[in-house]
Structure 1
Amino acid sequence: MAIKTIVLPGLGESVTEASITNWLVQPGDQIERYQPIAEATSDKVTTEIPSDYAGTVKELLVEVDRDIPIHEPIMTIEVAMSQDEETVEETVRPAEKAAADQTKRGRYSPAVLKLSQERHINLAEVTGTGRHGRITRKDILNFRPEQAAEEQAAVTSTAAEVVQTDGVRKAIAKRMVQSVNEIPHAWMMVEADVTELVKLRNAHKTAFKEQEGISLSFYPFFIKAVAQALKKHPKMNASWVDNEITFFKDINISIAVATDDHLFVPVIRNADELSVKGIAKEVNRLARAVRNNSLTAEQMQGGTITVNNTGSFGSVMSQGIINYPQAAILQIESINKRVIPTEEGGLKFADIINLCLSIDHRILDGLAAGRFLADVKNNLLQFNSEADIY
């Protein structure tokens, strides 16, 4: 007889801890290999944990509803298998051994494991069609060894390079997955006439560059318009965490700055207190820090809403993923000439832009989003004199 330990298996990428929500066995129970022993819940998934061994349950090592790290021991079991028998099993049944190893990572259900062993299928060769790429019973029933060989050949022939993701990309991925999984996104778009704003910026961009030493883009005008609108719509300046809504008094606007490989979101603090000139200088300073690789973690913390200048790439419509745990992200699209009707019944050329807003539908609804966008749009119409820059 030997005592074996069962650990909490991996429950998905970026999941570092989980909790046992229900034990399905008790000390003294006789259990079979792959029999479900517990239900575990993380922030991403709830799943049954199968046993790696057949034997008698000795001890449950963790309490229900207590968060524990992945791979933490959760149970001990007394097994009858000798060391020699283990060696024989590893030699004679390598496919079953590989399935058991994968089970420790929480990828396969007991039904899939049993069926794959009956059909002598190596699960490493099967492509899963279930959620998050999980292998289902149907995948096993439809599996053809020659198909796996063809798929592997295709991957080998087309893959040019495989690289490990760095820390920045992993952090971005984790935050985006968290946002999509936890925040119910809703989306709204409005058109805005920025003809006067275009005239104002074009008339003063040369003098601004000479006096201030930096270029005057349209981005600071949009950030200023958003900051002004947030003062009238504090619900937009919020976050939902642990079933509590926090409404922020400070207006700290996250801006998106892209490099060839990454996207950073440094923060302009108290943006409502700055002029367009002041915002332009902050955008320039933060963008320089990103590209010089000198941006600090502190400069990316404390943002309450994100304004993304997607129009700089020529985009005309996009749906942003909210920068968790903020309540909204506004995508500023490209400015395009259009013919629009006048109030007198005629037609005119105008500079039109789309404002695309994603919101957290737990905090905000269409009415709040619509009113906020209407004020942003109206603020943009007000930019028409040099005084609006300084």
Structure 2
Amino acid sequence: MEIVLPQLGESIAEGIIGKWLVIEGDEIDKYQPLVEVITDKVNVEMPAPVSGKITKIVATEGKTVLVGSVIALIETSDQADNEILGTSEVDTIGGFVSDMPAVGPTGAANVPQHTSQEEKNVGNISEPRLSPAVKKLVEKHNINLSELQGTGRLGRVTRKDVEAFLNIETIIPKDLVDRGIVRQAMDPIRKTIAQNMAQSAADIPDVWLSIETDVTNLVILRESIKSKFLETNGFPITFLAFAVFSVAQGIKECPIVNSSIDKDEIIVHNELNMGIAVASSAGLIVPVIKDVFDKSLTSIAAEIYRLVTSANSGNLAHSDVTSGTFTINNTGALGSNLSKPIIVPGQAAIMTTEEINKKPVVVPFDSKRTELQVSINKQEAIEIRSIMNLCLSFDHRIMDGSHAANFLNCVKTLMESFGKDTALD
């Protein structure tokens, strides 16, 4: 019987086979994790639709397959099963059984609970059940099963559990190292990133500009509230939250920035869904804060915390990584002072917030701030201020430089206006 790639979410037509969790010849249980499928820069862990024996793996790792395509063959004794097997549409990224752990950037899916005889008798199981492939790996490394912590269904030990226990690392052949050349195959996530970036570079005539922003008052404000804010809310308020809030106000003044192009038409979006770039262990992921126009600083901070935490732990839902209309990247957290971001296909612009640095700045002389200023004359003085660059790449088909500059200046004005009277809620 055939196992096909199921519908992984609305508008998803294909997926990349990331990693098979079984091998040919394995006896598997219904709902046992079969394969990791890459889509929208996150992993979907697909379960077995029936119990049986894997007779053939059709789609190899790294291969792109269409929804409905055959990915494996399974032999089952249940003659009532259909000839073509798949799973129902999935609206959540991650494992399909609620007690299944996250794998890579995945999470748990909303799937009906099933009570099987195996579950009823789980208390009688004296040792973890192993698939043939996992059993071979355990025997090869002479591992004591009592030392393994199973994270699979009903505590089953998976291949990933064994690999984590062994901390297995890829070994590069010595002859390649000696030649000073190492060829490393792209993993599926890197392939997806490469395809999207190549598409953007080829299709979008982008223009870049940057503006300096004095965030001294913002730095003082955040420093004064961050401890109490964390204690009260249970999550931090970051500079990124203030930047997201400021971008939303800037887009209200310059709506063209929140748009996309469709042939000869420009589509200006009424809702602002802002992607925030996250450098996770699995690669670049861009979860999306929905309806930013309607959010306060506190609610933005809460959503940033939720999305970043979910991205790093592997619990992003499919809805968390779709429908973005604008993207922001906090490259300053990586020590960058200037960057030229690549526009996400389907959007009009992307902005980066850079590292905050202290710089000497010429400011109006203030007789009340003599301890902070070095006077130049009666009108001007030099003062150390906290400066951050805002960088913007925009699609020149959609807007001109005047639109982009106006938008950046709006963001700059708001970033510089934060102070002790700023409302957080």
TM-score under structure 1 length normalisation: 0.59
Match of residue 391 from structure 2: 356
Q: Distance in 1 between matches of 2:217 and 2:318?
A: 38
Give the match's secondary structure for 1:346: strand
Letter in 1 for 2:208: W
Letter in 1 for 2:347: Q
Match of residue 307 from structure 1: 328
Instruction: Give the C-alpha shift of residue 349 in structure 1.
Output: 1.1
Matched, 1:246 2:253: no
Q: Distance in 2 between matches of 1:155 and 1:360?
A: 43
The counterpart of 1:158, out of the listed 180, 189, 199, is: 180
Q: Distance in 1 between matches of 2:394 and 2:231?
A: 39
Letter in 2 for 1:353: M
1:159-210 CA deviation, whole Å, 9 max, x = no partner?
Answer: 34x4432322221111111000000010000001111101000000010111
Instruction: Give the C-alpha shift of residue 261 in structure 1.
Output: 3.9
Q: Distance in 2 between matches of 1:224 and 1:202?
A: 18
Match of residue 324 from structure 1: 345
1:222-280 CA deviation, whole Å, 9 max, x = no partner?
Answer: 00000011011110001113333111000111101111340111110111211111101
The counterpart of 1:338, out of the listed 350, 355, 359, is: 359
Q: Distance in 1 between matches of 2:295 and 2:392?
A: 23
Match of residue 169 from structure 1: 190
Q: Distance in 2 between matches of 1:172 and 1:353?
A: 28
Q: Distance in 1 between matches of 2:242 and 2:200?
A: 28
Letter in 2 for 1:253: M
Q: Distance in 1 between matches of 2:265 and 2:197?
A: 21
Letter in 1 for 2:402: L
Match of residue 277 from structure 1: 298
The counterpart of 1:223, out of the listed 237, 244, 261, is: 244
Q: Distance in 2 between matches of 1:213 and 1:249?
A: 32
Match of residue 380 from structure 1: 415
Match of residue 424 from structure 2: 389
Contact 1:184 1:361 in 2 (8 A): yes
Contact 2:189 2:282 in 1 (8 A): no
Instruction: Assess, with a 3 A threshold, how the Cα gap between structure 1 residues 345 and 278 changes in structure 2: closer, same or farther.
Output: same
Query: Aligned pair count?
Result: 239
Contact 2:274 2:290 in 1 (8 A): yes
Q: Distance in 1 between matches of 2:287 and 2:421?
A: 28
Instruction: Assess, with a 3 A threshold, how the Cα gap between structure 1 residues 313 and 325 changes in structure 2: closer, same or farther.
Output: same
Match of residue 200 from structure 1: 221
Q: Distance in 1 between matches of 2:242 and 2:250?
A: 12
Letter in 2 for 1:214: F
1:1-390 matches, within 5 Å, as 157-160=179-182, 162-343=183-364, 344-385=379-420, 387-390=422-425
Contact 2:259 2:268 in 1 (8 A): yes
Instruction: Give the C-alpha shift of residue 345 in structure 1.
Output: 1.0
Q: Distance in 1 between matches of 2:383 and 2:319?
A: 47
Letter in 1 for 2:415: L
Letter in 2 for 1:362: R
Q: Distance in 1 between matches of 2:414 and 2:305?
A: 23
Q: Distance in 1 between matches of 2:393 and 2:339?
A: 10
Give the match's secondary structure for 1:311: helix
Contact 1:337 1:352 in 2 (8 A): yes
Q: Distance in 2 between matches of 1:168 and 1:275?
A: 33
Q: Could you tell me the percent identity over the aligned residues?
A: 38
Give the match's secondary structure for 2:332: helix
Structure 1: 4+ residue segments shifted above 3 A: 153-156
1:113-168 CA deviation, whole Å, 9 max, x = no partner?
Answer: xxxxxxxxxxxxxxxxxxxxxxxxxxxxxxxxxxxxxxxx98871134x4432322
Letter in 1 for 2:261: W
Instruction: Give the C-alpha shift of residue 214 in structure 1.
Output: 1.2
Q: Unpaired segments of 5 or more residues in structure 2?
A: 1-13, 15-65, 67-174, 365-378
Q: Distance in 1 between matches of 2:226 and 2:397?
A: 41
Contact 2:307 2:316 in 1 (8 A): yes
Q: Distance in 2 between matches of 1:298 and 1:272?
A: 18
| Structure of higher CA gyration radius | 1
Give the match's secondary structure for 1:158: coil
Q: Unpaired segments of 5 or more residues in structure 1?
A: 1-15, 17-68, 70-152
Q: 1 or 2 for the larger relative contact order (CA 8 Å, sep ≥6)?
A: 2
1:60-103 CA deviation, whole Å, 9 max, x = no partner?
Answer: xxxxxxxxx9xxxxxxxxxxxxxxxxxxxxxxxxxxxxxxxxxx
Contact 1:200 1:386 in 2 (8 A): no
Contact 1:315 1:333 in 2 (8 A): yes
TM-score under structure 2 length normalisation: 0.54
Letter in 2 for 1:182: D
Instruction: Give the C-alpha shift of residue 383 in structure 1.
Output: 1.0
Q: Distance in 1 between matches of 2:260 and 2:394?
A: 11
Letter in 2 for 1:348: E
Letter in 2 for 1:388: A
1:308-354 CA deviation, whole Å, 9 max, x = no partner?
Answer: 10000111000000011101000100111011011231111111100
